[in-house]
Amino acid sequence: MNKKAAVGSAIAILLLILPLFLSQINDLWMHVVIMIGVFSILSMGLNVIIGYAGQFALGHAAFYGIGAYAAALLMLHLDISFWLALPAAAMIAGLFGFLLATPVIRLRGDYLGIVTLGFGEIVRLIFVNWVDVTRGPMGLPGVPAPSLFGYTFTGKTEFYYLILVLVVITYLVVNRIVHSGIGLSMLATREDETLAASIGIRPNKFKLLAFTVGAFFAGIAGAFWASYISYVSPDAFKYLDSVNILAMVILGGSASLPGSILGAAILVAGPELLRYVNEYRMLLLGLAIVLMMIFKPAGFWGEKHRKINFYGSGARKGDVK
Amino acid sequence: MLLQQLINGLSIGMIYALIALGYTMVYGILKIVNFAHGDIYMMGSFFGLFFMKELHMPLYLAFIFSAVSAAILGMIIERTAYRPLRKADRIVPLISALGVSTFLISLAQLLWGTEMHPFPTAFGSKTYAVGSVTFSEIQILIFILSFVLMFGLHLFVTRTKVGTALRATSMNLTNAALMGINTNRMISLTFGLGSALAAVAGILVGIYYNAVYPNMGYMAGINAFTAAVLGGIGSIPGAMLGGVLLGLVETLAGAYISTQYKGVISFSILIIVLLIRPSGILGKKDINKV
Amino acid sequence: MKRTIGSIALSALLAGAVAGCAAGGGGTQGGSESIRIGLAAPISGTQAQYGESFKNGAQLAAAQINEAGGIEGKNVEIIIHDDKGDSNEAVNVANKLASDRSILAVVGHFNSSATLATAPVYNKNKIVQISPSSSAPAVTDAGEYTFRVITTDAFQADYLADWSAELGYKKVALIYEQSDFGLGLLDVYQESAKKHNIEIVGAEAYNPGDKEFSIILTKLKEQQPEAIFIGGFYNEAALIAQQAERLNLKADFIGVDSLYSEALLSLGGESVNGLKLIGFFYPGGDNEKATAFAEEYQAAYNSKPDTYAAYAYVATAVVLEAIKEKGADRESIKTYLETLEGFEGPTGVISFDENGDVLTVPSRLTIQDGEFQLYQ
C-alpha cells in the first residue's frame, strides 16, 4: 500500500470515529465540525465557479438560501421527506443558478461581480419581503429533521454522519467534473476566452455549467442546513456570507478542492478559536485577504503550477503588447 | 406630490453622482472596480464628524480637511493594496478590494462603534416652502456644491495640462508612460481626487440624514457604481448623468411602485443596462482586442 | 524575498491569534468558584448598540449582587457571547453556552428571530433562556425553558391602539420595520384600530438600516394622517421625525417602548418633541426601582439607560433571584421562574404566565423640551 492510500485510510477512519470523541467533550465542537462540512460543500461549489471557470461571482449565499427555503417549504407545506426534499432543493437551486447566470454570462470580471452581488441582494430582498411565502423576517420555524427507516435524527451525531456523506459525495462528484474534459474546458475558458473559442470550446456553455454546478451544491448545503437548524430566516444569506464563502475559496486555494475544505475549516473554526479577539476578527480577515492576494494569491493549498502564472504573466486585455 | 418626489430624487441623485465620479475615474484609468470606494465615502463622513465634533471646526473647513484626509487614505490604499497587484490576474485586485472594504468597515466600527452618530450642525434644517413643495437648506447646498465640484472636475480634466495627462493615462497606460507621463503619479492623483469627492458626498449625506455609521458605504457604493455604469463608466459627464437619473428613477419607483423593492429596482436597472448597452449612455464602446 | 516576508507575516498573524486564544482559554476555567450566567447579545454588527445596553444592564445586576457579598459567598460572572444579531451565529452561541455545564442560565437573545432559532437548543439542553427584548408572538410557544421579560408586540400594539382612540385620532398611518418586530406591531395595531373605528390611511415598510424616508413620508403626506405610528427602533424613528419636519408633514408620532432611548433625543433633536410612546421603563415616575436603577446606571456607565438596558437588568436580576432562593442549578431556576409572581423591578411588577410570558402595565410617556416625561 503506498503512502497516499495509507494516509487516506487513516483520515477516513479518524473522520468516522470523530463523533465518539467530540460528543463526550463538547456539543459545540460537534456543531463546529458539522458547520465546517456545510461550508466545505458551499466552498467547493463556489470554487468551481471562481477557481476553475474563473468567474468572479459574489452572490453565492443566494443559492444557499434558495436551497434552504426550497427544502423547508417542501417539507413544511407538502410533507415531503427530507431525502426527496434534498435533491429537489438542489435541483431548484441549480436551476436558479442557470437562470440567473444566463443573461449575464457575457459580462467580464468586475461587471459580473457587481451583477452577481446584485442578484444576491435581490434574492435576499425577496426572502425578506415576500411574506406570504417565506414569512419574511419571521422565518420558517419547525423544519423537520430527516428520518431513516422510522428513526428520526435527534442528536448531532446523526447529522454529522449525514454531512460527512454529503461532503464525500460532493468531493467525488466535483472532482470527477473538474478532472475531466469539462474541467479542462473550464480552465481553458478561465485563461483566455477568445483563445478557447478559437479552438472550439464554447466559453458560455462552460461558464453556465460552472454556475449551475456551483448553485446545485449550494442547494444541497442549504437543504441540509434547514433541517439541521430547523429554522430558516433571511439573515443567514447576506452579502457578508457570500464574502465569507469567497474568502474560504481564496484562503484555501482556488481551483483546489482540498483547498476549499481547508478554507472552510479555517473560517469556521477560526472564529470559534478566536472568540477572544472577536472585536478584531473582521479587521484581521480584511487584512488577511489583502495580504493573501499580494503574497499568496493561489491560497494555502492552491494549484501548485499556478503560483508561477500569477506573477507577471499578465497581458491584460486592452494593453498594447 | 410628484414635484416633491422629483426634488427628493434629485438630491439623492446628486450625491450618487459625486460618489460615482470616484468609481468612474478609477475604472477609466485602471480598469478595475474599486470595491472599497463606498467605504472611503464612509470614512470621509466620519472624518468630517471628527473634525467638527472633536476639533470644533466650522463646516467649510471640515469639508476641506476631510477631503484631503480621504484623498490621502485613498492614495495609501492604492499604493498598498492595488499597486503590487497590477500585473496579476484581473480577479486578484478585485478580491484585494473586498479585503480593503472589510478592513475599513471593521476599523470604523472599532474606532467609532456601530451606532448612528448625529452630525453636529444646525445647518440645513431650515426649509423653504414654494407652493406644495418644500426645499431644505441642505438640499440646496447639495445641489450647488455637487454641481460646482463636478463642473470644476470637468474643467480640470479637459483644460489643464495635468488633466490632459490624466486622460492620456486612462486611454492607454503604456503609451502615456512612453510619452513621459509619470503614470504612477497620475494613478495616485485619480484615487486622490475620487476619494476627496466621496468625502464631500459623505459629509453632505451626514448632514442630510443626520446619521453617520460604518455600514453606510455598502448601499451607497453599489448605487453609485450603478450610476457610473448607467451613465457610461469611464466618462465623467456620464457619472453625473447616471447619478441624477438613478436618483430620480429610484425615487419615482419607490413612490409609485413600492419602497421595499427599491433595491431590486436599482439592481435590475444595472443588469438591464449591462446587458443592452454595457457602455452606458455616454460611454464609448469598448473594443476587445484579441 | 517578498514571498518569504509574506509567509512570515501570515504565520505570525495566525500564530498570534492561536496564542491569543490559548491564553484567553485559560481564563474561562473559573469553574465552580463563581456563579456563571451567559449573556447572548449582538455585541458587534448592526445592532451592537442594543447589545451594549444588554451588557451594561446585566453586568450592573451582577455587580450589585457581588457588592452585597455575592450569592453564598460566590461571585456572579456574566459570560458574554456575541451573536451579531444573526440567527446563525446565535445558534452557534447557543450551542456553546448550552454545552458549557458551568453556565446556569442564559439572558438573551435580542432579536426575536435569534431567540426563536436558538430556543430548540436551549430547550433540548434544559437550560433557561430569558430574553429581555424578543417580543414576537411566536416566542410564547417557543418552549418551556424560554422566558421573556418584555410583553409581546400584540400587547403593546393593542394598548397603543386604545390610547390612540383616547387621544382622538381618526386617521393614522404606519411606518414599520420589515422585520418580525415591525410586522407584528402592524398586524395587531391594524386589528385593534378597526375596533376603535380608526382609519389606517397608509402603511409603509422600511428595511432596518434604511435612512431614506422622504419618499415614504411624501407618499403618506398625501393622505393627511393625524398620527403616524412608528413600528421600529429609535434610530430610524429619529430620522423619520426629522425628515417629516423637513417636508412640513404635520402629524403626531406615536410608538412603543422600542423608541425609549437617549439616542432618540440626540439624533432627533427638535423634531421628536411631542412624540408619544408607551414604556415600561421610566425613571422619574412612580417606580422607585426605575429611578434607583437609572441613578446607578448613570454612576456606573456615565450615560442614561434605555429600555433594553433596563430589561436586561431585570432578566438578570430575576435569574439571580432564582439562584438565591433555589440554588445554583439549571432545573431549579426554571421551576422558580415558572411560578414567579410579583417581582418588583425597574420595568414594573413582573409575573410569568404559563408560557413564560410576562404580565405588566405600561406608562404613557411623551417627549417635551428634549426629555422624556410622563404624559399628563
**Residue B195 in this model has a pLDDT that exceeds 80:** yes
pLDDT digits (tens, 9 = 90+) for A49-101: 988 888 888 889 999 999 999 999 999 888 888 889 999 999 999 999 999 88
Question: What is the share, in percent, of chain B residues with pLDDT greater than 70?
Answer: 96
> Minimum mean pLDDT among B100-114, B119-133, C331-345: which range?
B119-133
Task: Tell me the mean pLDDT in the region C233-248.
Answer: 87
pLDDT digits (tens, 9 = 90+) for C331-359: 888 888 888 888 888 888 888 887 878 87
Task: Tell me the mean pLDDT in the region B32-36.
Answer: 85
**Residue B137 in this model has a pLDDT that exceeds 70:** yes
In this complex, the chains that touch C, judged by 3 or more CB pairs closer than 8 A, are A, B
User: What's the pLDDT score for residue B192?
Assistant: 93
d(CA A90, CA A213): 10
pLDDT digits (tens, 9 = 90+) for A1-37: 577 777 777 777 777 777 777 666 666 778 888 889 9
User: What's the pLDDT score for residue C340?
Assistant: 85
Nearest to A72 by CA among A172, A168, A146, A165: A146
Task: Tell me the mean pLDDT in the region B51-63.
Answer: 86
A223 falls in which pLDDT band (50, 70, 90)? very high
User: What's the pLDDT score for residue B38?
Assistant: 92
**Residue C26 in this model has a pLDDT that exceeds 60:** no
> Minimum mean pLDDT among A10-14, C75-79, C367-371: which range?
A10-14
User: What's the pLDDT score for residue C7?
Assistant: 46
Q: Is A311 on the interface with C (CB under 8 A)?
A: no
Task: Tell me the mean pLDDT in the region C295-308.
Answer: 89
User: What's the pLDDT score for residue A315?
Assistant: 42
pLDDT digits (tens, 9 = 90+) for A82-96: 889 999 999 999 999
The topology under which CATH files domain B2-276 is: ABC transporter involved in vitamin B12 uptake, BtuC (1.10.3470)
Q: B interface mutation test: which of C218, C247, C250, C266 has the most B CBs within 10 A? A: C218
Residues of C in contact with A278 (CB under 8 A): 43-44, 82
d(CA C255, CA C231): 6
**Chain C residues whose C-beta sits inside 8 Å of any chain A C-beta:** 2-3, 5-7, 9-10, 13, 17-18, 20-21, 23-25, 43-44, 81-82, 85-88, 91-92, 95-96, 98-100, 112-113, 116-117, 120, 125, 136, 138, 178-180, 183, 205, 207
d(CA B10, CA B15): 9
End-to-end CA distance of chain C: 75
Region(s) of chain C under CATH 3.40.50.2300? 31-151+290-359, 154-279
**Residue B247 in this model has a pLDDT that exceeds 80:** yes
Nearest to B176 by CA among B189, B162, B165, B184: B165
B134/C221 CB distance under 8 A:
no
pLDDT digits (tens, 9 = 90+) for A294-320: 887 777 776 654 443 433 344 444 443
The topology under which CATH files domain A27-303 is: ABC transporter involved in vitamin B12 uptake, BtuC (1.10.3470)
C248/B5 CB distance under 8 A:
no
**How many helices (H) does chain B have, and how many strands (E)?**
11, 2
pLDDT digits (tens, 9 = 90+) for B157-168: 889 988 888 888
User: Domain residues of chain A, as ranges?
Assistant: 27-303
* Nearest residue, CB atoms, C113 vs list A235, A275, A288: A235
d(CA A170, CA A265): 16
User: What's the pLDDT score for residue B285?
Assistant: 59
pTM: 0.80
CA dihedral A249, A250, A252, A255 (to 10 degrees): 70
φ/ψ (deg, to 5) at A206: -75, -30
Task: Tell me the mean pLDDT in the region C262-287.
Answer: 85
**Residue A280 in this model has a pLDDT that exceeds 90:** no
Task: Tell me the mean pLDDT in the region A166-178.
Answer: 91
> Minimum mean pLDDT among B138-152, B274-288, C207-221: which range?
B274-288
Question: Which listed CATH number (3.40.50.300, 3.40.50.2300, 3.90.226.10, 3.90.420.10) goes with C154-279?
Answer: 3.40.50.2300
User: What's the pLDDT score for residue B256?
Assistant: 81
**Residue C93 in this model has a pLDDT that exceeds 80:** yes
Question: Which listed CATH number (3.40.50.150, 3.40.47.10, 3.40.50.2300, 3.90.1150.10) goes with C31-151+290-359?
Answer: 3.40.50.2300
User: What's the pLDDT score for residue B124?
Assistant: 61
Task: Tell me the mean pLDDT in the region C54-81.
Answer: 89
C-alpha cell of B148? Answer: 460646482
- Grid-cell match 413600528, residue found: C231
pLDDT digits (tens, 9 = 90+) for C308-333: 999 999 999 999 988 888 888 888 88
Average pLDDT of the residues of chain C: 83
**Residue C178 in this model has a pLDDT that exceeds 70:** yes
Instruction: Sort strands A151-152 and A147-148 into parallel, antiparallel or unpaired.
Output: antiparallel
Between C152 and C147, residue with greater pLDDT: C147
User: What's the pLDDT score for residue A57?
Assistant: 86
User: What's the pLDDT score for residue C16?
Assistant: 41
User: What's the pLDDT score for residue B284?
Assistant: 64
d(CA B35, CA B42): 13
User: What's the pLDDT score for residue A224?
Assistant: 93
**Residue B242 in this model has a pLDDT that exceeds 60:** yes
